[in-house]
C-alpha cells in the first residue's frame, strides 16, 4: 500500500476517535456541572478538560477566564482549535475524501454525511438548545463510522491501518483522562474524606466511568461500591474493558502484526513490550510507585510508538 494512502486512512480514524473522546469528556463535565458544587470546583473541572487535551495555553490566548460556555465553544465550534469537534470532523472527512477510492461507499457516505450534518446542527443552534443530545449524536456517529468500517471494508491493510489509528488514539485519550481526573480527587487515597467529600467523590468517579461507557461494566465486574483503585484497574489493566489501555494495546499489537514487515520489527517490539507491561501489571504496584508517573511514561511511550508507526508506514511529517 502507498504510504500516502495508509496515512490518510490512519488519520481519518484517529480524528474520528478524537471527536468521540472530546464529546465524551465535554458531556461528563456538562452533566457534572448540573450537580450542586461551588464555582471553584466547577472551574477546576473545566480547566482539567483543557489540560487533558493540552489546550490550556491556546485557550488562554483567546480568553481571560475559564467558563463553561467559553470552554464548550472552544472545544466544539472553534475552527482555529485543531482538536475541536468541528476541526476533527473536517479533518476526518478530508482524509476520507483523499482516499475515496479505497473506501466502500458506506464508509465514505457516513463520513461525508456526518460533516454535512454537524455543520447544519451548529448553524441551527442544536448544541445550544440541548448540549447533552448533541454529544450523544457525536458519539453515535463515531459508533456508526466504526461499525460501517468493520462491517463493509475488506479485511486487508486498509482496514488494519484504520484500526491502528483508532486504538492508538483511544489509548492516548484514556491515559490522559485517568491522569487528570485522578488528580482532581485525592481524598480517597489520603483516607481523610468527609461524608460530604465521599458523596461528591461517588459522583466524580461515576462521571469518569460514564465518560468511557464503563459504569455498568464496573458494576458487573466488581459488584461493589465505586473505589478509585478499581476504577484505575478497570481503565488501565482490564483486557475485556473496550476502552482500557490494555484492550487498546491488544488491538494495536494485532493490527501492527498484520501490516508488519522487516522495517517495522522495532516498532512491533515496542508495541509488544508496552502491551506486556499492561498484561502483567498490578494496580497495587502502579499506585505504590505513583499513578501520575506511570501514566506520564505511558503517554510518552504511546507517542513514541505513533512516531515509529509514522516513520515505518506513513507519510513523513514535515520538518
Whole-number Å distance between alpha carbons of 51 and 233: 22
Predicted pLDDT of residue 31: 80
pLDDT at 316 over 70: no
Whole-number Å distance between alpha carbons of 176 and 162: 22
- State percent of the chain over pLDDT 70: 91
Give the Å distances, CA to CA, from 278 to 159, 163, 204, 239, 247.
25, 20, 25, 9, 9
Q: Say whether 271 sits in a helix, a strand or coil.
A: helix
Q: What are the residues whose beta carbons fall under 8 Å from the beta carbon of 6, sequence distance 6 or more?
A: 157, 161, 259, 313, 314
Whole-number Å distance between alpha carbons of 202 and 228: 9
**Mean pLDDT computed over 163-170:** 96
- Residue bearing cell 498484561: 279
Are 210 and 204 a contacting pair, CB within 8 Å? Answer: no
Whole-number Å distance between alpha carbons of 206 and 225: 10
pLDDT tens by residue, 244-256: 999 999 999 999 9
Whole-number Å distance between alpha carbons of 103 and 111: 11
- The answer to whether the pTM exceeds 0.75 is yes
Sign, CA dihedral 150-152-155-157, equals negative
Alpha helices in 34-84 (DSSP H): 39-52, 56-62, 68-76
The 10 Å Cβ neighbour count of residue 72 is 22
Residues 272, 296, 8, CA angle at the centre, nearest 5°? Answer: 60
pLDDT at 8 over 60: yes
Please tell me the number of Cα atoms within 13 Å of 190 on its side-chain side: 12
**Mean pLDDT computed over 290-294:** 91
Predicted pLDDT of residue 196: 52
pLDDT tens by residue, 172-218: 999 988 887 787 665 444 444 455 555 556 777 888 898 899 999 99
Are 42 and 58 a contacting pair, CB within 8 Å? Answer: no
Sign, CA dihedral 55-59-65-67, equals negative
Cα separation of the two ends of the chain: 24
Give the Å distances, CA to CA, from 288 to 39, 229, 279, 285, 291.
33, 11, 18, 5, 8
Whole-number Å distance between alpha carbons of 231 and 215: 10
Whole-number Å distance between alpha carbons of 19 and 289: 33
Amino acid at each position: 500500500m502507498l504510504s500516502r494512502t495508509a496515512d490518510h486512512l490512519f488519520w481519518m480514524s484517529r480524528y474520528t476517535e478524537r471527536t468521540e473522546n472530546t464529546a465524551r469528556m465535554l458531556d461528563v463535565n456538562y452533566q457534572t456541572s448540573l450537580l450542586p458544587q461551588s464555582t471553584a470546583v466547577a472551574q477546576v473541572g473545566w480547566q482539567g478538560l483543557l489540560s487533558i487535551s493540552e489546550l490550556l495555553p491556546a485557550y488562554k490566548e483567546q480568553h481571560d477566564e475559564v467558563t463553561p460556555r467559553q470552554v464548550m465553544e472552544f472545544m466544539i465550534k472553534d475552527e482555529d482549535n485543531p482538536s475541536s469537534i468541528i476541526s476533527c470532523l473536517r479533518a476526518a472527512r478530508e482524509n476520507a475524501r483523499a482516499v475515496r477510492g479505497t473506501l466502500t461507499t458506506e464508509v465514505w457516505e457516513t463520513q461525508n454525511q456526518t460533516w454535512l450534518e454537524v455543520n447544519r446542527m451548529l448553524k441551527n443552534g442544536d448544541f445550544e438548545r440541548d448540549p447533552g443530545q448533541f454529544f450523544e449524536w457525536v458519539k453515535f456517529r463515531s459508533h456508526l463510522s466504526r461499525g460501517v468500517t468493520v462491517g463493509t471494508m475488506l479485511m486487508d491493510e486498509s482496514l488494519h491501518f484504520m484500526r491502528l489509528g483508532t486504538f492508538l488514539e483511544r489509548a492516548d485519550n484514556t491515559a490522559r483522562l485517568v491522569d487528570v481526573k485522578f488528580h482532581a480527587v485525592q481524598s480517597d487515597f489520603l483516607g481523610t474524606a468527609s461524608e460530604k467529600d465521599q458523596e461528591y467523590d461517588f459522583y466524580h468517579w461515576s462521571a469518569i466511568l460514564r465518560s468511557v461507557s464503563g459504569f455498568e461494566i464496573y458494576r458487573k465486574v466488581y459488584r461493589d461500591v465505586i473505589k478509585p483503585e478499581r476504577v484505575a484497574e478497570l481503565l488501565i489493566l482490564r483486557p475485556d474493558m473496550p476502552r482500557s489501555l490494555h484492550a487498546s494495546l491488544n488491538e494495536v499489537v494485532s493490527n501492527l502484526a498484520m501490516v508488519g514487515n522487516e522495517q517495522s520489527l522495532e516498532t512491533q517490539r515496542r508495541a509488544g513490550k508496552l502491551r506486556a507491561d499492561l498484561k502483567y501489571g498490578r494496580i497495587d504496584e502502579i499506585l505504590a510507585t505513583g499513578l501520575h508517573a506511570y501514566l506520564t511514561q505511558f503517554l510518552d511511550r504511546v507517542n513514541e510508538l505513533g512516531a515509529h508507526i509514522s516513520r515505518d508506514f506513513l507519510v513523513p511529517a514535515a520538518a
